[in-house]
Amino acid sequence: MLEPVKNFFSSSSFIPHGHCYLWKPELVWLHVASDSLIGLAYFSIPIMLIYFVHKRRDMPFQGIFLMFGAFIISCGTSHLMAVWTLWHPDYWLSGGIKLTTALISLYTAIELFGLIPQALALPSPAQLEATNQKLAQEIGDRILAEAALKQSETRFRLIFEDAATGIVLADVSGELMAANPAFQKMLGYSENELSRMHFTQFTHSDFISTEAELYQEMVEGLRDFYQLEKIYITKQKQMVWGHLTVSLVRDAEDNPQFCIAMVENITERKQSDTALRLYQEHLEELVGARTAELTKVNEQLSWQASHDALTDLVNRREFEKCLERVVSTARASDQECTLCYMDLDHFKIVNDTCGHLAGDELLRQISALLQNRCRKSDTLARLGGDEFGLLLYQCSLEEATRVVQKLHKSIQEFRFVWQDQTFTLGISIGLVSINDCRLNPENILNAADTACYSAKKQGRNQVHIYRVDERELQEQQP
């Protein structure tokens, strides 16, 4: 088995060019040993390079490492061929290997020349250190930011879960992504049931269009948020009032991401407001009714204060006020007005014969008769007992005389029937022209009374016109 090896290294097989080594075996073995060791080293280096490239696939310029490996292998082969040709004259093979080595060397040199600028562009250790420090800082900042974000998310989760107010997260289309327990309790739905429900599904129909418009304006950027009081429909089909505040969350590029809605249950407040409103309306009704009642009472009191309770005619006090106004107006505008003073004749006979009830009924009937015969614009009053006063507005003495004559005739034609008795009455009338006498209201009323008294003295049931030259006027003037 060792025979081929012995034959390989046998001195008898030395090549003819052994004279180059002076045919000295020691020198020959020196070269053999040197070339063998160099070849062994050349073959071991590529193996280590290939192993390194295999383990560090992230390293740049892997091709040049392989080229160096091929170059070193070819160099090692050349050294081994130098040993081989000491005994075997395979010079063509040796030359071809050297040529191959030369080509590989040249190609490696060319490739290396192009890679030098790229290698120089690689960061230096100092730059790598600075980059590493910056990266470490960024990593530290990122860790802190992630920790802060995690803490913020934890706080939000605690707020979201424990808040007494309903909190809802919805996408841009309005579909729910999450709802906290308070909102679930408010509507009676579970979290899974609310997931992907659209907000219109639990909104009262009266508020859907309004909120849809507000929601669209917010998504389009026309408003940052909106607030709305609306009615929610629970799972049990009950109505719940809620105060809604919706905000839109956008990203760094201002694109809409999702919405956050805060919902406060205000049903009790609304019920209280409704109860309060109904109570206020009730109070207003009571106040209105009481006011109407007081107004009616005041009107009645005012009417009673200015009218006679028996005949419903204006009483003496109100009649004197009307007379004052007429006197003032007549003097200012030079309008002629007439005052009529009337006293029933034989009224005492009816009263004494049939009693006060009959007398009162007679006065009521006489009052109605006179009222129907007077002009609508005139004022008829009961001055007391069986005495009546009549103010004729914008009426001359002549025209007043015609009006009074009609009244006088009506009284004469009137028959008062009480039980089985019939009575015929008369009336004494005194007239005075308010413009003629130019006196104050009291004196004018006294003058009319005087004219009426004169009619009674002349035989009753007559009309007497007051004249300024009568003696009574001289006695009444101040």
pLDDT tens sequence across 128-142: 677 778 887 888 788
Mean pLDDT of the chain: 80
Of 2-16, 146-160, 188-202, 457-471, the range with the lowest mean pLDDT is: 2-16
Q: What is the mean pLDDT of residues 248-277?
A: 87
Judged against a pLDDT cut of 50, whether residue 16 lies above it is answered with no
pLDDT for the residue numbered 29 = 73
Tally of domains within the chain: 3
More confident call, 98 vs 312: 312
Is residue 324 domain-shared with residue 454, that is, in the same domain?
yes
pLDDT at 18: 47
Q: Is residue 279 part of a domain?
A: no
Domain boundary among 121, 149, 180: 121
Segments forming the whole domain that contains residue 325: 307-476
Q: What percent of the chain has pLDDT over 70?
A: 79
Residue 175 sits in the same domain as residue 114? no
Could you tell me if residue 143 is inside a domain? no
Q: Is residue 53 part of a domain?
A: yes
Determine how many CB atoms are found less than 10 A away from the CB of residue 279.
10
pLDDT band at 232 (very low <50, low <70, confident <90, very high): very high
Clarify whether residues 337 and 446 are in a common domain.
yes
Domain CATH number, residue 257: 3.30.450.20
Q: Among 43-47, 212-216, 236-240, 427-431, whose mean pLDDT is lowest?
A: 43-47
Last residue of a domain, one of 62, 91, 121: 121
Query: Which band of pLDDT confidence, cut at 50, 70 and 90, is reported for residue 473?
Result: very low
pTM of the model: 0.46
pLDDT of the residue at 4: 56
Compute, in degrees rounded to 10, the torsion defined by CA atoms 253, 140, 151, 178: 40
pLDDT at 19: 46
Specify the pairing of strand 426-433 against strand 463-465: parallel
| Residues 94 and 190 both lie in one domain | no
Residue 144 placed within a domain: no
462 and 313 fall within a common domain: yes
327 shares its domain with 458 = yes
Query: 132 in a domain, yes or no?
Result: no
Q: Give a yes or no: residue 190 inside a domain.
A: yes
151 lies in some domain: no
The pLDDT score that the predictor gives to residue 156 is: 64
Within-domain flag for 369: yes
317 and 216 in a single domain? The answer is: no
Q: How confident is the model at residue 278 (pLDDT cuts 50, 70, 90)?
A: confident
The confidence band for 60, taking pLDDT boundaries of 50, 70 and 90, is low
